[in-house]
Amino acid sequence: MAVAVAALACAPKAEKEEDRLPQKDITLQLYSLRDDIKKDYAGTIARVGEMGYTSVEAAGYADGKFYGRTPAEFKADLEKAGLYLLSSHTGRGLSADELKAGKASDDTWSWWRECIAAHKEAGATYIATAWMDVPKTLADLQTYCEYYNAIGRMCKDNGLMYGYHNHAHEFTKVEGETMYDYMLQHTDPSLVFFEMDVYWVVRGQNSPVDYINQYPGRFVLLHVKDNKELGQSGMVGFDAIFKNTDTAGTKHLVVEVEQYNHAPAESVKMSLDYLLACPLVKAKY
């Protein structure tokens, strides 16, 4: 019954009311349109702005560029579409040699310096690492926590914020410790935020709200995601999540759609309309 009530509270308005949907500051993870952006980069960026999104989270940074565009070009492309770069998923894992040494190499820090400079030039506020394998030992996991703290310090010194985005595998145990909890407990809150992907928390058989209450203030970004379009599966209790964003410390909602019932652009627009129509979603956080 609770799931049904949640779905009703944030149900999209009828099509005829679409023009009356309130404006809200909502970000789109561009991975949602990964195939479209490969075929038509400029048209896809323009379409995201036309839908009503206000900013994007990139998933195409490599070698100092975003989707093959220089930071300045990418920033200009977004601005032309009425968008800005809120955040970006990127990162560099530690090698076996680095884990054995217990620290990152000079090459890794050189990579991060270029990465941070590029994101700063593109106008980003946040950088989030979107994946790491499950470490074999707690010692390796601790090395990663210290590594993330150091990246967070570099970002903070350059006016950016650094964080980690989860999937479901972070809820497995490493030497008896839940990986996600260990990361939350052994990273510095002033240096490392967490971008909670609420769908993957649920898929990991956990409650997003329980984590919000256990670690208040840590979840600066929320990946608002469902099995397909937002609000369609009944798996995620969005009402309870949206009621607890103040406790979470949330500053922005980021939509991601990985699977679709419709054409990707249509699914992405439906997901935005779901949030625009939901009275529990604030215009700004």
Nearest to 150 by CA among 162, 140, 159: 162
* 144 phi, psi to nearest 5 deg: -65, -40
pTM of the full predicted structure? 0.94
3-class secondary-structure state, position 230: coil
Phi-psi bin for 181: left (phi > 0), alpha (psi -120 to 50), beta?
alpha
Q: Compute the distance between CA of residue 269 and CA of residue 273 in angstroms, rounded to an integer.
A: 6
Q: Residue 207 has what pLDDT? A: 98
pLDDT digits (tens, 9 = 90+) for 250-282: 999 999 999 999 999 999 999 999 999 999 999
| CATH of region 2-277 | 3.20.20.150
Domain ranges within the chain, ordered by starting residue? 2-277
Is residue 203's pLDDT more than 70?
Answer: yes
pLDDT digits (tens, 9 = 90+) for 55-83: 999 999 999 999 999 999 999 999 999 99
Q: Compute the distance between CA of residue 101 and CA of residue 222 in angstroms, rounded to an integer.
A: 34
